[in-house]
Structure 1
Amino acid sequence: MASENPIVVVATMTAKPESVDAVRTACTQAIEAVHAEPGCELYSLHEANGTFVFVEQWADEEALKTHGTAPAIGALFGAIGEHLDGAPDIKMLQPIVAGDPAKGQLRG
């Protein structure tokens, strides 16, 4: 059952310059499987100059925990590990809602 406070995650990964295409391909290949995971409300990939940012929203802590051990994530990190310039930066965030609530927070 979804909680009232979904969990938002921002995961940032920087590809080595020669590996940008390989990282992009591996990331995009993982998306469909992750979208099918229970509790996935948002799993959106963005890129700027070889830095890849996943913006994620999970229904609850259990969904995020399941995602962390899912086959798609194991395969993704197995494929991109050697292609990254440093470790991924993964942050779990809490919304600070201000202004128009419909525009001030992510929602599933």
Structure 2
Amino acid sequence: MADTEPVVVIANFVPVPGKEDEIETALRNAVAATHQHDRGCELYAAHQSIRGREGFVIIEKWSSMEDLQAHGAGNAFAALTTDVADLLAEPLDVTIVKPILAGDIKLGAL
């Protein structure tokens, strides 16, 4: 993957039972801070699971790997990891993906 290709990230947060509201607050703060301050952010959206595994997911899209790395070293991510450190039942699970282009490009990739 070239450094200038978009990068998609899926981050899963599994809360300690009873800590869901605190994690949601931390995610809301992180989303707002990321949207305001992080260069190259094309998408940074938090979701709560409503079926299946309990927890939260952030779906991210960055203009480049360099932008993602800057986000990982930035204040918004540092605050988020601090805010959720004692609220997670499992370690933060982060997956970095690239699209498999097929069909309609608008429908087949984030």
Q: TM above 0.5, one fold?
A: yes
Match for residue 90 of structure 1 among 81, 91, 94: 94
Q: Kindly provide the CA deviation profile for residues 26-53 of structure 1, in whole angstroms up to 9, marking residues without a partner as x.
A: 1101111101210000001111154110
Give ranges in structure 1 of 5+ residues lacking alignment: none
TM-score under structure 2 normalisation?
A: 0.89
Structure 1 segments, 4+ long, off by >4 Å, are none
Q: Kindly provide the CA deviation profile for residues 39-85 of structure 1, in whole angstroms up to 9, marking residues without a partner as x.
A: 00000111115411000000001100100011111111111110001
Give ranges in structure 2 of 5+ residues lacking alignment: none
Q: Tell me the CA shift for residue 18 of structure 1.
A: 1.1
Match for residue 51 of structure 1 among 55, 74, 81: 55
Give the aligned length.
104
TM-score under structure 1 normalisation?
A: 0.91
Q: Percent identity?
A: 36
